[in-house]
């Protein structure tokens, strides 16, 4: 029986649950509770996660399913494209999936975004379930219905809003997550504290040793609070017409670095660097103190995340930000900290301010 769960609302009505558990033993019950018995299920996973969890998951779901099929793609951001989506479409067609059948995303952010986009567009939309297995996906990408794929190395350029029917977080999957991937997820969790909850940000600093030791109860507290922050933002602005853009703190420069480094850095690593740049502009604007800026930098460093980048130039980073999908009327919607725990959307950040911040993060 699952005990820890949160309900996410969409347009004022309950849309789906987020369940936090120590394993997948209650997944079949959770699926049955929302009427998903006797369906065809297509589990989409990558080559890393599939090799660990796919077989057991199929056995768990089989008793309630009409059939269970699976697709495994090569792990990594380079698979998050329309070619992989075409492979998913073909398998869905070959296995006669209809609008009442279900896609299950088993994996991290790449898997969730890709599987969600396939679900959003196949037959104009079928149901899907998120089973996030990375800290980044649990804290951020599995919640809120954003789906999409990259196009010609432009991050999430093709996508759709499509809400899942369920998000089921098996927190024990974090024990099999490579340390670098776990650290990358911490950047999104730090972000949530910085933009919305100063007390949570302080809690992260105080509990960092237990977090890095993968203490189950501490991890559960951390993921649940981070999830609550994301839930509250997306409920108030489900399609990013306003405050949901606050979740892009650190992403404007972070995404540019990710592209220019040809995805050799993980998404969360790039967001960590972008966070430092955004915090620097916030400091130069007088919103946060120099001490607060360096506390942010030191927390990111303590999570074994990068705070600087090399082998790219400031002008290239700036020019790449101009291609960001979050541009509005030829202006960048930059997210700044008004104070720790309080963020704002600002379209007045100048090229000079951005270049100075970029220089600050260059090695």
Question: In the sheet that 4-10 helps form, which strands lie side by side, from edge to edge?
Answer: 4-10, 13-21, 166-170, 127-132, 102-107, 40-46, 67-73
Q: What are the start-end ranges of the E strands in the chain?
A: 4-10, 13-21, 40-46, 67-73, 102-107, 127-132, 146-151, 154-161, 166-170, 327-328, 331-332, 334-339, 342-346
Q: Is the dihedral angle over the CA atoms 102, 107, 109, 110 positive or is it negative?
A: negative
Supply the pLDDT for residue 126. Answer: 98
Supply the pLDDT for residue 241. Answer: 85
Tell me the C-alpha to C-alpha distance, in Å, between residue 149 and each of 2, 35, 45, 82, 160. Answer: 32, 29, 15, 7, 10
- 3-state DSSP assignment of residue 127: strand
- Pick left, alpha or beta for residue 250 (phi over 0 → left; psi -120 to 50 → alpha; otherwise beta): left
Supply the pLDDT for residue 242. Answer: 87
Please pick, among 39, 165, 225, 251, the residue that the annotation labels catalytic.
251
Q: How many CA atoms lie within 13 A of 94 on its CB side?
A: 10
Place of tokens 């705070």: 307
- Beta partners for 58? none
Contacts of 77 (CB under 8 A, 6+ apart): 110, 150, 263, 267
Least Cα distance to 337 among 201, 155, 230 occurs for 201
Supply the pLDDT for residue 327. Answer: 61
Please pick, among 13, 96, 124, 290, the residue that the annotation labels catalytic.
124
Please pick, among 77, 240, 258, 269, the residue that the annotation labels catalytic.
240
Active site residue 248: yes
Parts of the chain with a pLDDT under 70:
1-3, 325-329
- Beta partners for 346? 334
Parts of the chain belonging to CATH 3.40.50.1970 = 5-176
Please pick, among 48, 77, 80, 188, the residue that the annotation labels catalytic.
188
Supply the pLDDT for residue 88. Answer: 98
Parts of the chain belonging to CATH 1.20.1090.10 = 181-361
Active site residue 230: yes
Q: Which fold has domain 181-361?
A: Dehydroquinate synthase-like, alpha domain (1.20.1090)
Supply the pLDDT for residue 322. Answer: 87
CB 40 within 8 A of CB 104: no
Please pick, among 244, 258, 269, 333, the residue that the annotation labels catalytic.
244
Please pick, among 248, 259, 269, 333, the residue that the annotation labels catalytic.
248
Q: How many CA atoms lie within 13 A of 199 on its CB side?
A: 2
Supply the pLDDT for residue 328. Answer: 64
Supply the pLDDT for residue 239. Answer: 87
User: What CA–CA distance (Å, rounded) separates 336 from 19?
Assistant: 32
- Beta partners for 132? 107
Active site residue 255: yes
- Beta partners for 46? 73
Q: Please, what is the angle between helix 314-321 and helix 351-361, to 10°?
A: 130
Active site residue 38: no
Active site residue 192: no
Supply the pLDDT for residue 325. Answer: 60
CATH of 5-176, one of 3.40.50.10360, 3.40.50.1970, 3.40.50.150, 3.40.50.1820: 3.40.50.1970
């Amino acid at each position: 029986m699952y005990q820890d769960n949160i309900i996410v609302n969409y347009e004022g009505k309950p849309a789906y649950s987020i369940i936090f558990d120590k394993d997948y033993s209650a997944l079949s019950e959770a699926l049955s509770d929302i009427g998903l018995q006797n369906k065809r299920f297509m589990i989409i996973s990558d080559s890393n996660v599939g090799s660990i969890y796919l077989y057991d998951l199929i056995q768990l779901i089989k008793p309630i399913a009409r059939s269970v099929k699976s697709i495994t793609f090569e792990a990594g951001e380079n698979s998050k494209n329309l070619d992989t989506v075409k492979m998913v479409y073909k398998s869905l067609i070959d296995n006669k999936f209809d609008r009442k059948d279900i896609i299950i995303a088993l994996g991290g952010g790449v898997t969730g975004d890709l599987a969600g986009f396939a679900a959003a567009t196949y037959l104009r939309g079928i149901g899907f379930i998120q089973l996030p297995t990375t800290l980044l996906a649990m804290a951020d990408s599995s919640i809120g219905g954003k789906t999409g794929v990259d196009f010609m190395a432009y991050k999430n350029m093709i996508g759709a809003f499509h809400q899942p029917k369920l998000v089921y977080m098996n927190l024990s999957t974090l024990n099999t997550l490579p340390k670098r991937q776990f650290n990358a997820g911490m950047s999104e969790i730090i972000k949530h504290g910085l933009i919305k909850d100063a007390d949570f940000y302080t809690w992260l600093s105080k509990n960092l040793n237990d977090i890095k030791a993968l203490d189950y109860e501490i991890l559960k507290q951390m993921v649940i609070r981070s999830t609550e922050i994301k839930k509250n933002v997306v409920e108030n602005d489900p399609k990013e017409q306003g405050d949901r853009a606050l979740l892009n703190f650190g992403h404007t420069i972070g995404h540019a670095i990710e592209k220019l480094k040809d995805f050799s850095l993980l998404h969360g690593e790039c967001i960590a660097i972008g966070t430092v740049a955004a915090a620097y502009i916030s400091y130069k604007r007088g919103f946060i103190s120099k001490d607060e800026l360096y506390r942010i930098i030191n927390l990111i460093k303590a999570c074994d995340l990068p705070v600087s980048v090399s082998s790219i130039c400031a002008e290239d980073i700036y020019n790449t930000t101009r291609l960001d999908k979050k541009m509005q009327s030829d202006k960048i919607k930059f997210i700044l900290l008004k104070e720790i725990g309080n963020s704002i959307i600002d379209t007045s950040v100048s090229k000079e301010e951005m270049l100075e911040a970029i220089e600050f993060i260059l090695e």
